[in-house]
Chains A and B, each alone.
Chain A
Amino acid sequence: MEKYYKKWFKILNIPAAILFVVVILVPFIMGMAYSFTAWRGSYFKGSEHWYGALVGFKNYIKVFHSQKFITSFIYTIKFTIVAVVAKNIVSLGMALMVRKVGKGKGFFRTVFFFPNLLGGLAMGFIWSFIFQNVYSLMLFGEDSPIHIPFLCDMLQDPNKAVFAMAIMATWQTAGYLMLIYLNGLNNIPEDLYEAASIDGATAWQKFRHITVPMLMPAFTIVFFLTLSSSFKMLDENLALTGGDFGTRMLSLQILLTTRENTPPNYGMAQAQAVIFFILIAVVSIVQVIVTKRKEIEA
């Protein structure tokens, strides 16, 4: 059998290998190289080839001196922290409750999951109206019974917009993350809790010393998903604020860099794209190593 599989190994891997090389590997290497050149999109400044237009680290220096890049970098980190915390608390809370209720489990799973299927751009338009008109004027405005200034005009203020975007992102993804947590919870053997009860453990002690350690594999997945999706978020950012009022995140910054200079500075945009890749790779790897280590300890 081994020989049989070996015979087919190369042939059956060819399609995947070709796609991988053309769509990911070659553009990735091109991107690395082009970030060191005076790339203008359709041509290279002063040369026919990329290697004739090398400018060293000039693009990177420009990026680190760009106020727009720095602002969007800090803003992305702020949003990622808020969104990861919000998504995890809400989805874990929902999972704990849905597991405990007697009837209607299927109903709640279906309802909470549904927004995950809808497009971020399309629903972002709707949410922008909800924040502007329903939140600001009807629910929490000056004339309404519960006046909460923080929830009014959230999209026009960078600090409030972080939370507005996090509210929408949580609404979208919490149901999906809840399914992962539910799976993890269902894998915890019931007799662990029974034994703890006999020993007189409180609900909090059970949660802290049984549920949390046993859920570590689920935490690894959920943290990986929420960290990278929050860091990379584009559609919701574009639809809710368009990046105005200092609310631009890194994905949008990379997209808009080529539109804000004439001639379009693709070299500088690509340098930001490379920095973006390094940030995501480092954060993801560190996170997986840390949570995996916790899994083993548990």
Chain B
Amino acid sequence: MTANKRIKQGVMYAILILLSIYTLFPIYFLIVNSFKSQKEIVGSPISVPSSFDFSYLKNAAAQIRLGESVVNTLIITVVAVALIVVISSLTAWMMVRNKTKASSFLFLCFTAAMLIPFQSVMYPLVNLMEALGLKNTFGLILMYGGFGLSMTVFLYHGFFKSVPLSLEEAAVIDGANIFQLFFNVVFPLVKPITATVVITNAMWIWNDYLLPFLIIGNNDSKTLTLSLYYAKSLSGQYGNPWELIFPAVLICVIPILIVFIFLQKNIIEGIAAGAVKG
């Protein structure tokens, strides 16, 4: 029995380690090829670079206007995520605390909207935003706010149900106003789901291609992913410029890598918390 069990464990470890290598391989591959010339990338794509030449990274950073793109993406992501968190949590809280028909109808609307794919509203949306003078970064933030609502309200709604009402009553009797009540008493109790909400929304907004493509296009104030797209498509008429693409992708990935290394525990736990209730 024990020998049998040991073999089983050994086989499972072997498979999982192989899968881990397979999972990390594209990342390794991305890193080593960011320091090679076009010739070296095509000639020996898997090997460690013969010399760590940073000129390709520098060139890629210039091509995608790194500083500007990072600042734009950061502003859009942070503001949009903050907007989504505050607005959706307030709405979900009010919906849980008011058991009226209006409240259930509103919840139904938000849940049903999860079924609407972005592609089916994007053209009229761009039209509308143009008419409202919002075809810019500010409009982009509002749109992310709108599209993040449904899923986020749904997640918060599930969590607020477990917050005890007596706690809130006590705070109100102690003289807390509605915002003190919410931000000092209720909101801290749903931290796990806030972590989930922040991660999933930030991930999606940071990496999004389609919405910035439609709203900003090939103008100034591009996001990181959009800059990458244009850097590739504009220089790729004569085959793929890999010595530009690899370092440019690496630059887009590095911020995520850093955040993940520092917050990996919170991220994994946050995602797991959302998975239970979702």
Contact = CB atoms under 8 A, between A and B. Distances in A.
Interface string B211-244: 0000000000000010011001000000010100
Interface string A193-227: 00000000000000000000000000001000000
Contact of A13 (B46, B91, B260): B91
A8 B91 CA distance: 10
B133 interface: no
A130 B26 contact: yes
Given A113-B268, A122-B249, A130-B26, A20 B113 contact: yes
Size band of the interface chain A makes with B: 35 or more
A102 B9 contact: yes
Contacts of B115: 277, 280-281, 284-285
A171 B20 contact: no
B256 interface: yes
Contacts of A22: 128, 142, 146
Mostly helix, strand, loop or mixed at chain B's interface?
A: helix
A135 B32 CA distance: 17
A31 B26 contact: no
Interface in B38-67: 42, 45-46
B190 interface: no
Contacts of A134: 29, 45-46
B87 A19 contact: yes
B46 A28 contact: no
Interface residues of B, number: 86
Contacts of A176: 271
B110 A20 contact: yes
B262 interface: no
A163 B195 CA distance: 34
Among A15, A27, A138, A183: residue with most chain B CB under 10 A: A27
B128 A26 contact: yes
A59 B268 CA distance: 46
Given A16-B91, A28-B121, A138-B45, 19 more contacts: A9-B94, A9-B98, A12-B91, A15-B87, A16-B153, A24-B146, A24-B150, A26-B124, A27-B121, A30-B128, A41-B123, A94-B16, A100-B9, A111-B23, A114-B260, A119-B207, A119-B209, A179-B268, A179-B275
Interface of B: 8-9, 12-13, 15-16, 19-20, 22-24, 26-27, 29-30, 42, 45-46, 87-88, 90-91, 93-95, 97-98, 100, 102-103, 106, 109-110, 113, 115-125, 127-128, 142-143, 145-147, 149-150, 153, 165, 168-169, 172, 178, 203, 206-207, 209-210, 225, 228-229, 232, 240, 242, 245-246, 249, 252-253, 256, 260, 264, 267-268, 271-272, 275-276, 278
What 4 A-B pairs are tightest by C-beta distance, nearest first? A23-B146, A119-B207, A30-B124, A277-B120
